[in-house]
Amino acid sequence: MAQKALALHEFSMPATLYLRHLFFAFTAKYRAVGIAVLALLVAVSYFFADMIYVVVILGFAAIPIGLFHYFVSRLTRVEERRILHESEGSVDEGGIVLHYRDGVHCYCAWEYVLDYKITKRYYLLYTADDTPPFLYLPREAFDDEEACRAFERLLLRKMTGAD
């Protein structure tokens, strides 16, 4: 039996929430690099005690420079900023369609959803595509609590592959 599409009312992702999740995506992606840099600093401090001060200062200066570069490059992409704009859409068996005010449509098939997070206020769907790395769907975008439960059942069914 085919289920009808769940309509989403207008919504937009708060910028602070977007930056927080973007930061977590950054740290998850570059965790190995951070461990390698820390290991290098420890090795340098073991062999060159006098040079460690310069290396530590340069190492700590590289952290905010790297973060600044990452976030500025992400936030200047049109497809990344679009997640902060108001949109509406629908969810069905095929995937999620978001319609933005500038006329652009974003389609995400269920195959590209890797993981999800359910909170009291929103759903966050992590996608295989890196731009954007997640889709934000607030609970108030759905008609009522029954629509939220229907979405959760659909999400669980699609993520477990129990079709």
| Extents of the domains making up the chain | 6-12+86-160, 24-75
* The pLDDT of residue 88 is above 60: yes
Is the bond into 132 cis (omega within 30 degrees of 0)? Answer: yes
* The pLDDT of residue 130 is above 70: no
CA distance 130 to 123: 18
Alpha helix (H) residue ranges in 76-163:
78-81, 145-160
With H, G, I as helix, E, B as strand and everything else as coil, classify residue 57: helix
3-state SS of 71-135 is HHHHHCCHHHHHHHCCEEEEECCCEEEEEECCCCEEEEEHHHEEEEEECCCEEEEEECCCCCCEE
pTM of the full predicted structure?
A: 0.69
Backbone angles phi, psi at 113, to 5 degrees: -90, 115
Cβ proximity of 134 and 21 under 8 Å: yes
* The pLDDT of residue 121 is above 90: yes
* The pLDDT of residue 108 is above 80: yes
Enumerate residues 6+ apart whose C-beta is below 8 A from 95: 107, 108, 109, 110, 112
Max intra-chain CA distance, the chain: 72
Cβ proximity of 124 and 115 under 8 Å: no
Q: How confident is the model at residue 50 (pLDDT cuts 50, 70, 90)?
A: low
Give me the CATH topology for the region 6-12+86-160. PH-domain like (2.30.29)
* The pLDDT of residue 9 is above 80: yes
Average pLDDT, whole number, for the chain? 80
Residue 65: the pLDDT is 79
Which two structure tokens, joined as six digits, stand for 122?
Answer: 């929103």
Residue 2: the pLDDT is 46
pLDDT in tens, 20-35: 887 787 777 778 887 8
Residue 122: the pLDDT is 92
Burial class (CB in 10 A: 0-12, 13-18, 19+), 90: middle
Cβ proximity of 44 and 22 under 8 Å: no
* The pLDDT of residue 60 is above 70: yes
Which two structure tokens, joined as six digits, stand for 5?
Answer: 């599409």
